[in-house]
Amino acid sequence: MNKAIFNPFKYVAGAKSLILGILIILITAYIGFLSNTHFPDLISIKLCSDFPVLYFVLQSFSNWLIFSTILYLCAIIVSTSSIRAIDIFGTQALARFPYLIAAFIGFSDSINKFAKYILWTSLKIGEPISLSTGNFVIAISLIILTFLLTIWLVALMYNAFKVSANIKGTKAVVFFIIVFIVSMVITGYISKYLFAKFS
Amino acid sequence: MDKKLPVTCPSCEAELKVHSLSCDSCQTTITGSFELPLLIKLEQKEQDFIIAFVKSSGSLKIMAQELKLSYPTVRNMLDDLINKIVELQKINK
C-alpha cells in the first residue's frame, strides 16, 4: 500500500499516466484559479490575487514541462537503458497529484486570515486583523499539510525519475538534485514573467 | 515439494559443478565434472522472467500487461537481468 502511494509508477506509466497526469494538471490549475492558489515554481504553494485561468494553466504546465524536458535530456545522456519520452513526461505529470489536493487549501478562510495576519504583524502590510485560536489551529494544520504534500510530491517525482530512466543509487540522487535545482530557477523565472504579464 | 537445485556450495559459497548424472530407467550413472549451464545459475524468479519473455515473443508490452506492471518497470527488470548475465559470463571466462 505504502509502496503504491510513493511509487505508483511500478504499475502505471506511458500513455495512461500521461493522460491521467495532464488531467490532474488541468484540474489543479482550475481549482487554483477558483481558490487563488498558485505554484510559482516546482514546489512552492502560494496564495495570490485574482488572475485569469490561463495564468494558472500556463504556470502548472510550465512546472511540469520544464522539469520533464531537462530530466529527459539528462536521462538520455546518463541512462544506459532505452528510455521513452512518454514514460518520463507521463510519470512526472502523474507525480503532480499531491498539488491537486494542495490547490484546495486556498479555499480556507483561516489560511487567508493567517496570511493577512502575518503580513500585518511582521511587515505592516494591509490592515490590522485579529486571529481566533480556531483559525490559528486550522491555518497551522493546513501549513503542515502543505509541507507533507510537498514531501509526497518530491518523493513521487524522484520515484518517477528512477523508474522511467532506470537510474539507481547515488547517480540517481545527484542527477535528480541537479535537475531539480536547475528547474527551480527556470520555473521561477517563467512564473515571474507570467506574473508580470497577467498583472 | 519442489527441491531447489543448489548452485553454490553451502560451506564455502564456491560455484558447484555437476559430479554425476544417473538414469532412473536403467540405473546407469555417469560421473565427471560438468559446468552448470548459465541459466540454472539465475534465481527462480529470473528464470520465470526469461520463460515469460520468450512466451510473449519478446514483447515487453505484452509482459507488462500480463504481470500487471508498467512498461518501464518490466524493461528495468530486463536490464537488471542482462547485467546479471553479463556479470556471470565474465566470471565464467
- ipTM rounded to 2 decimals: 0.85
Residues 6+ apart with CB under 8 A from A99: A28, A39, A45, A149, A153
Q: Residue B78's closest chain A neighbor by CA?
A: A81
Instruction: State how many domains chain B has.
Output: 1
Is B15 within a domain? no
Of residues A11, A81, A83, nearest to B69 (C-beta): A11
What are the boundaries of each domain within chain A? 2-198
Is B82 within a domain? yes
**Block residue for cell numbers 493567517:** A114
Please give the model's pTM, rounded to 2 decimal places: 0.88
Window B:22-81, CB contacts with A under 8 Å: 68-73, 75-76, 79
B contact test, residue of A12, A16, A72, A81 with most B CBs within 10 A = A81
Amino acid at position A53, single letter: V
- Provide the pLDDT for residue B15: 86
Q: Residue A16's closest chain B neighbor by CA?
A: B70
Q: Please write the tens of the pLDDT for every residue from B35-78.
A: 888 999 899 899 999 999 999 999 999 999 999 999 999 999 99
Kindly determine whether residue A10 and residue B73, on different chains, have CB atoms separated by under 8 Å: yes
Parent domain of B61 = 38-92
Is B74 within a domain? yes
Is B52 within a domain? yes
Is B42 within a domain? yes
Provide the CATH number for the domain around residue B84: 1.10.10
Distance CA A172, CA A188 (A): 24
Q: Name the DSSP class of B21.
A: E
Is B58 within a domain? yes
Q: Please write the tens of the pLDDT for every residue from A113-124.
A: 888 888 888 887
Q: In angstroms, what separates the C-alpha of A48 from chain B's closest C-alpha?
A: 38
- Provide the pLDDT for residue B91: 83
Is B63 within a domain? yes
Is B5 within a domain? no
Average pLDDT per consecutive 10 residues, chain A (199 residues; last block may be shorter): 87 96 97 94 90 95 97 93 95 97 92 85 81 90 95 97 94 95 96 91
